[in-house]
Amino acid sequence: MGCNVMCGIWAFLGHNAGNYVVKLTPWLIHRGQEGVSFVCRVNGSFMKVGDASTVASTLCLGHARYSTSGPYGVELQPIVLGNDFALVFNGTITNYVDLIRVLRGLGVDVGVNYDALVLAHYMRELLVRLGVDDGIRELFRTVRGGYSIIAIWRDSLIVVRDPWGFRPLVIGGDGNGIAIASESAALEALGMAWREVEPGKALVLRGSGREYWVDGPRVRRAYCALEYIYFLRPDSQFNGISVYEARRRLGMALARKEAVHDIDFVSPIPETARIAAEAYASGIGKPIHELVVKNRYAGRGFIKPPGERSLDMYGVVKSAVRGASVALVDDSIIRGDTLRKILPKLRASGARAIHVRVSSPPIRYPCFMGMDFPTRRELVAHGRSIDEVREYLGANSLVYLTVDELMDAIGTTELCTACFTGNYPFTVNIDDAEKAFTGGRSW
């Protein structure tokens, strides 16, 4: 099965690299709460460690893991192949099964069929057989999916962002060296200037100090809408757009749709819906109260392994709820697990009415580019009308944004909206992809 990974990746090339990658870690851990691991280049070999701060190295990679399918809790990255190749990657390789067949034709047995491992073997084979430049071009040509990659190949550091631009990736640095990270906020936190790696571009940093770019194909951009809605830190930027401002505009768009006048106050579902909720409350002229309280030590619910998603992470302020008509604002509804736990608590606490407002469209189709919902059956909105979702959740009313409203609020039409519309940026057979990413086939 696939082991697509929505995660945080980062690297440093330069003096005291181990210390730098450790300093970057807190700013990216929200992207992968299952664990953090590092690999450093030391005397021509790789050293994989849990703490890189004491490692004497000029080149280290970091990875924070959140599995989007496959073996939760298994440390998969950084991937090290021999003494010449190491890789960290963020995303999902949609056609990883095709790449397995190619590798087998070349006599390479990957062993365990996880897409990150398949990608690592495939990329290394391309570099060995075609050289760096042509190998990268062939990677761009043949690999479909969302991928941001940082790889060490012999004496070179290679940084790659897929042609569609699904996942974020930035590069910057200071006087001591060059840093690469999933999010701009991480580099800003260390006082570094930065720029985004453009979609369909690869940066090659040679050990000799030579630096150059390799271009991939030009395709229509498809930036992941859920990065803006949920995943990114609000103090990051993605494709030149402030995540904070995008979420604020999403909340304002919700406010413009409001038709219910009997609302006493607004409450966000913590944490990532807070910005949209504040803008929504301001737009409808109602106060905002934190009625739903999350256990801040429980991590992010959506990216938890399946066995932990049923754990209750939320409490409610009963004294404030009694007799009130409440508008609950959430950034998205995927499986409906969170709201199905919270709404009964609000009812039991005496809420007169509960109106659910969502700062994104209904998620009706699976993601094969890096988010953790690879099947239709797990999505609460798949096969249900909005009113049927409302009834399932137990809300008095339910309002979503439309795809057009989402694009207008974020400020670009160059978004991947496949999870809302079923229209993928490239050809995907949904039935086959679901089986590939849920263990339904043996390859």
Give the residue numbers annotated as catalytic, written as ranges.
7
Residue 272 dihedral angles phi and psi, to the nearest 5°:
-75, -10
Alpha-carbon dihedral sign for residues 32, 371, 173, 244: negative
Alpha helix stretches (DSSP H) within 37-189:
96-105, 115-130, 132-142, 184-189
Residue 419, annotated as binding a ligand? yes
366 contacts: CB under 8 Å, gap ≥ 6: 373, 374, 375, 376, 379, 419, 430, 433, 434
Question: Is 168 exposed, middle or buried (CB count within 10 Å of its CB: 0-12, 13-18, 19+)?
Answer: buried
Residue 330, annotated as binding a ligand? yes
Q: How many Å apart are CA 158 and CA 151, to the nearest integer?
A: 5
Q: Closest Cα partner for 224 from 164, 273, 182, 271?
A: 164
Which tokens go with 441? 């086939």
Instruction: Give me the DSSP letters along 283-312.
Output: HHT--B---EEE-TTS--STTS-HHHHTS-
Residue 60, annotated as binding a ligand? no
Alpha-carbon dihedral sign for residues 360, 366, 368, 373: positive
Residue 40, annotated as binding a ligand? no
Strands 223-224 and 145-153: unpaired
Residue 367, annotated as binding a ligand? yes
Residue 3, annotated as binding a ligand? no
Q: Count of CB atoms within 10 A of residue 212's CB?
A: 11
Give CA 93 to chain center in angstroms.
Answer: 14
Residue 416, annotated as binding a ligand? yes
Binding site listing for [4Fe-4S] cluster = 224, 367, 416, 419
Binding site listing for Mg(2+) = 272, 330-331
